[in-house]
Amino acid sequence: MIRSLFKFGLLSLFAVCGLGCGREPGPPSSPNPGFTETADLTTPSNSASKEADMNKTASVTREKLNAEVDGKPLEQFVLTNKNGLRAVVLNWGGTLASVETPDRNGKFDNIVCSFSPDNERFLKNPPYFGVTCGRYGNRIAKGKFTLDGTEYTLATNNGGNHLHGGVKAFDKYIWNAEPVQGEGFAGVKLTLVSPDGDEGYPGTLTSVVTYKLTDKNELRIEYSATTDKATPLNLTNHGYWNLKGARAETGTVLDHVMHLNCDSYIAVDDESIPTGKLTAVKDDSPMDFTKAKPIGQDLGKLTNDPQGYDHCWVINGGGDSTKEPVLAAEVREPSTGRVMRVLTTEPGVQFYTGNYLPGTPDVHGFAKHGGFCLETQKFPDSPNQLSFPSCILKPGETYRQVTVHEFGVE
Active site residues: 238, 375
* Distances, alpha carbon 180 to alpha carbons 21, 58, 60, in Å: 19, 11, 8
Q: Alpha-carbon distance 101 to 107, whole Å? A: 8
237: nearest Cα among 95, 68, 29, 409:
95
First CA to last CA distance, the chain: 7
Rounded distance between C-alpha atoms, residue 202 and residue 144, angstroms: 12
Q: How far apart are CA 349 and CA 309, in angstroms?
A: 12
List, in order, residues 6 or more apart from 298 with CB less than 8 Å away: 285, 286
Report the distance separating Cα 60 and Cα 51, nearest Å. Answer: 18
Q: How many CA atoms lie within 13 A of 33 on its CB side?
A: 0
Closest CA to 214 of 64, 82, 381: 82
Please, are residues 2 and 104 in contact by the beta-carbon 8 Å criterion? Answer: no
Beta bridge pairs of residue 179: 188
Whole-angstrom CA distances from 222 to 301, 351, 403 are: 36, 20, 7
In angstroms, the CA 331 to CA 65 distance is: 33
If we measure between CA atoms, which residue out of 389, 403, 399, 269 comes closest to residue 344? 403
Taking phi over 0 as left and psi of -120 to 50 as alpha, with beta for the rest, 255 belongs to: alpha
Q: What residues contact residue 66 under an 8 Å CB cut-off, 6+ apart?
A: 25, 36, 37, 38, 39
Rg (CA), the chain: 20
86: left (phi over 0), alpha (psi -120 to 50) or beta: beta
